[in-house]
Structure 1
Amino acid sequence: MICVEFLAQPDGRVMGFRVEGHSGYAEEGADIVCAAVSSAAYLIVNSVTEVRGVSPLCLRAEEGDMLFRIEPKDEPVCRDFFAGLRLHLTGLEEQYPEYLEVSYLEV
């Protein structure tokens, strides 16, 4: 199962996200759930860092593991990107509940 945690402040502001695991939906190279989650996560990271010019507080991307965290000062610039990612991933979670779990972690 893929676990996605949005890293949120007590007031609800999202400061980043963590993606861990593999869905197990299909074999490597044919797993549409993994592909959808990975593609969405990389789109957000690339949009925030390369298009909007935000320097991440933390960025780690390895096989089956991604962590992306911003500084509080950058939250207003990133808010809509994170909201879009949340909508996309919760939609996937509704379609594939046994392969993807989306949650929030207070930081």
Structure 2
Amino acid sequence: MTTVTFHSEGSRIVGFQVEGHSGYAPEGEDIVCAAITSAVRLVECAVNDVLGLEASVKVREKDASITLKLPSHLGQTNESTCQTLLAALMVHFVQLAEEYPDSISVLEV
């Protein structure tokens, strides 16, 4: 199962961690894993490549995990954009968890 944990400080989502394999289907055929990976890559590219914010990203292939943490001080526009992206990612993962409850769980801490 994949576990997605969103980290918040007050009402601000500061980052997320995705860990584990969904186990929905064999490697290369797993639509849940593909949906998770694609969404994570989209948000990471939007934050770092498009907005140029240099969020901290740690990938541990051995553990099948990726962690993204936003920088502490963002301008108002970038903060708003990042919060929208992370909130949308959370909604996407919650919807996946409702559809595939044995493959993905979502936590907010």
| Structure-2-length-normalised TM-score | 0.89
CA contact (8 A) 2:93 2:106 kept: yes
Identical counterparts, % of pairs: 38
Distance 1:49 1:84 in 2: 17
Partner of 2:20: 21
Query: Is 1:102 matched with 2:106?
Result: yes
CA–CA separation in structure 1 for the residues paired with 2:7 and 2:38 = 19
Residue 53 of structure 2 is matched in structure 1 by 54
CA deviation vs aligned residue, 1:31-50 (integer Å, no higher than 9, x gap): 00111001100110011101
Shift of 1:53: 1.1
Runs of 4+ in structure 1 off by over 4 angstroms are none
Aligned length: 103
Distance (Å, rounded) in 2 between the aligned partners of 1:29 and 1:62? 19
Q: Bigger shift: 40-49 or 76-85? A: 76-85
Secondary structure (helix, strand or coil) at the match of 2:73 reads: helix
Residue 30 of structure 1 aligns to a residue whose secondary structure is coil
Match in the other structure for 2:82? 78
Q: Distance in 1 between matches of 2:90 and 2:73?
A: 20
Measure, in 2, the Cα distance between the counterparts of 1:35 and 1:66.
14
Match of 1:39 in 2: 38
Aligned counterparts of 2:80 and 2:12: Cα–Cα separation in 1: 9
Structure-to-structure mapping, 1:1-20, within 5 angstroms: 1-9=1-9, 11-20=10-19
Q: Which runs of 5+ in 2 are unaligned?
A: none
Alpha-carbon separation, structure 1, partners of 2:46 and 2:5: 19
Quote how far apart the aligned CAs of 1:77 are: 3.6
Unaligned runs of 5+ in 1: none
Aligned-CA RMSD value? 1.1
